[in-house]
Amino acid sequence: MAGHANQAMPHWLATALLEAADRRLPPGSPRRLRVTGAGHTAQALRRLAPLRGWELSDHGEPGRLELDGIADPTLQTRARELAAQAVARGRETLRAFLDDEPRPTALFIADNVYYNQLRISAALRERGWRTASVCIHPSKGLHQERWFDLQVHLDLATLLDELPRLRATTLHTQGWLNAYHLPALVEAYRPPGCMHVAELMDVQHFFFPEAEKPRWAGPSRQTWGDGAVDHIALEHRCETFLLEHAPCVAFTGLRRQIPWLCELGADPRRLLPFPCYPLSRFFANPTSPPIGKPWRLAFVGGIPPFDARHPHALFGDAQLLDTLPLLLRQGIYVDLFLNPARTEDPGRAYAPLLLLERTSTGLRLYQGRPPWDLAPALQSYHFGMMLYRFNGLVVGRRHLHGILPSKLFQYLEAGLPVLVSEQLREAADFVRRTGIGLVVADDDLPRLARLLERADLEAMRRRVQQVRDRWCMERRVVHLERRYRLSPVD
């Protein structure tokens, strides 16, 4: 519990710093702010400052205010006050909301209530549900406005204290890699008769197979510190607890993962394949760029920073540095839309990619966009890109073979056909079966341009339109809704 409280403190320190900045700035001065450092508080400042009317600046214009250091005891005290006030306000607001009316209510709980849950919430509200998000990490909840009937911040201790009052509420938690202790605690504390859907975004056992610990132990310590192996073992136990006890476990894949999850103790009757289906209100229609050179690919989503804490053995595929040069040398253009929630300094975090951008023709990096603004920005591309090289990776094969990434459905929302690596077997099978793109073998990457010239792009576009209508969240959410309405087996 202390860990979650500490994770939230950078948000409140940033808030206290901005309050101080408002007081210190002379009247009429430009509201420009230079944030130094790469720590959590600096990242929170970069996220919050524009929302409070500040312009972030890296230059020395007049009126710039530099904020360095967070050791001031007054700021520390103010940050604790802000955190306590927000939690108390969140508790009372949530109680009033739940007592307000008898409509079915789904309560989404996560460190960061993420995009899949935004789409689920939007579809449920159209079906008469009320939805609320409880975000343990406050600065990660800023993208939730308008997608839930209520958004509140609680610390973990307060959340667990409130759970006994939620007997008529459906709980929907979300677990991420190395973060399954939160849904496990919710499952342990949930009151009898309260339905709980635990959503697995990355299956811990598949990413870090116990039998392959000698391969991933070293890189994990490099990323998460000396206690990483023990923490991963704890998260394995939390995930197993959920698989054995949660009334419903949803996972972002299709049926390939079911026998693997059953090997870990899951009851197949409690499993629900439920990937990040496209939401029809996000749909855009592509502008049909001319077929042929230069081929233009869009990549959306997180790219791990290039630093000592993100070694190639764990993150090399997602950093794309092994893939992009092969494409650029063929005259293929690639635009990268980064995760909008990331707040690292791009000059530090993505220096190798920025160097490749400066020295190559056809590569551009963009700040990411939230999902409701993303599809229109992708309309002029030929394909969405899910192409990686997995050389030297120590991640478990079942993770790669079973995952169905959310970016696949973001490309469908934009109306784009998809290029997917064959090693992503679940995604590759889906693309091959539906005809919405091309499956690319690793050996074919150096000659991808020739493969694209033989592709029937217009036929793929038509199939994308058909598939996204059939697989949209508004249609698929009924399967989740049925689980919500079941009585849990305690």
**Cα distances (Å, whole numbers) of residue 170 to 89, 166, 167, 480, 483:** 22, 8, 8, 11, 10
Mean pLDDT of 461-490: 91
Place of tokens 């056909």: 417
> Which ranges of 341-424 would DSSP assign to H, the alpha helix?
346-349, 351-359, 371-377, 397-402, 406-413
Mean pLDDT of 473-488: 91
pLDDT in tens, 22-71: 777 777 777 777 776 656 677 777 777 777 777 776 554 434 444 444 45
The C-alpha atoms of residue 467 and residue 479 are separated, in whole angstroms, by 18
pLDDT in tens, 165-192: 887 789 999 988 888 999 999 999 998 8
Note the pLDDT of residue 60.
45
Choose among 283, 317, 295: nearest CA to 419.
295
Mean pLDDT of 408-432: 96
**What's the pLDDT band for 288 if we cut at 50, 70, 90?**
low
H/E run at residue 76: helix 73-100
* DSSP assignment of 110-154: ESS--HHHHHHHHHHHHTT-EEEEEESSGGGGTT-TTTSSEEEE-
Exposure pattern of 263-298 as b/e (b: 16+ CB <10 Å)?
ebebeeebbbbbbbbbbbebbeebeeeeeeeebbbb
Answer yes or no: are the C-beta atoms of 82 and 75 closer than 8 Å.
Answer: no
H/E run at residue 106: strand 105-110
> Which ranges of 320-472 would DSSP assign to H, the alpha helix?
324-328, 346-349, 351-359, 371-377, 397-402, 406-413, 425-434, 448-453, 457-470
Lowest mean pLDDT, pick from 145-154, 439-448, 456-465: 145-154
Mean pLDDT of 254-268: 96
**Cα distances (Å, whole numbers) of residue 163 to 127, 141, 299, 373:** 25, 20, 40, 35
Choose among 223, 151, 156: nearest CA to 8.
156
Exposure pattern of 320-332 as b/e (b: 16+ CB <10 Å)?
bbbbbebbbebeb
Q: Is the entire prediction scored with pTM above 0.85?
A: yes
CA 390, 393, 397, 398 dihedral sign is negative
Note the pLDDT of residue 67.
47
User: Rounded mean pLDDT of the chain?
Assistant: 87
Mean pLDDT of 221-239: 95
Mean pLDDT of 295-317: 93
Answer yes or no: are the C-beta atoms of 405 and 423 closer than 8 Å.
Answer: no
Q: Which one has a higher pLDDT value, 39 or 16?
A: 16
**What's the pLDDT band for 72 if we cut at 50, 70, 90?**
low
**Cα distances (Å, whole numbers) of residue 364 to 163, 338, 418:** 47, 11, 19
3-state secondary structure (DSSP) of residue 193: coil
Note the pLDDT of residue 444.
95
DSSP character at residue 334: E
High-pLDDT (> 70) share of the chain, %: 89
Lowest mean pLDDT, pick from 135-149, 332-346, 453-467: 135-149
Note the pLDDT of residue 80.
78
Mean pLDDT of 86-113: 86
Note the pLDDT of residue 73.
66
Mean pLDDT of 69-92: 76
Note the pLDDT of residue 219.
96
Note the pLDDT of residue 343.
65
Mean pLDDT of 180-208: 93
Note the pLDDT of residue 2.
33
Angle, helices 115-126 vs 473-485, to 10°: value is 80
The C-alpha atoms of residue 286 and residue 378 are separated, in whole angstroms, by 8
What are residue 164's DSSP bridge partners? none
- Within 10 angstroms of residue 32's Cβ, the number of other Cβ atoms is 18
Distant-in-sequence, close-in-space partners of 459: CB < 8 Å, separation ≥ 6? 435
H/E run at residue 439: strand 437-440
Choose among 129, 434, 474: nearest CA to 279.
474
Checking if the pLDDT of 337 tops 80, the result is: yes
